[in-house]
Amino acid sequence: LSELWPVGKAQVDIGLMLLGLVVFALIVESLGFVVAASQLIFLMTVRRFRWPLALLASIGISVALLLAFQKLLGVALPVNDWGW
């Protein structure tokens, strides 16, 4: 099993992903899908891209997912008081 477990940078990536999932689960109901998904995607991409690009991409992807689910698929996602 120790041979299968990643080492170095991959461990940090896994840790950030798990942290993002925990934070997502804790804040999605109160802050809405866009904020929760943005932080999750940001934590997934910030180590690969410069942080401004990762931030813009994470917000854009989250908004696109919200619109796709609500408008195209008719699935209600958690939103905050401003509707996102």
2-19 pLDDT tens trace: 788 888 888 999 999 999
CA end-to-end span of the chain? 43
Question: Which alpha helices (DSSP H) does the chain contain, by range?
Answer: 9-31, 33-45, 51-67
State pLDDT tens for residues 24-71.
999 999 999 999 999 999 999 999 999 999 999 999 999 999 999 999
Amino acid at 19: L
Query: What six digits make up the tokens of 18?
Result: 């798990």
Q: Which of 16, 58, 69, 54 is nearest to 36 (CA)?
A: 58
Is residue 73 predicted with pLDDT exceeding 90?
yes
List CB contacts of 4: < 8 A, sequence separation 6 or more.
Answer: none
pLDDT value of position 43 = 93
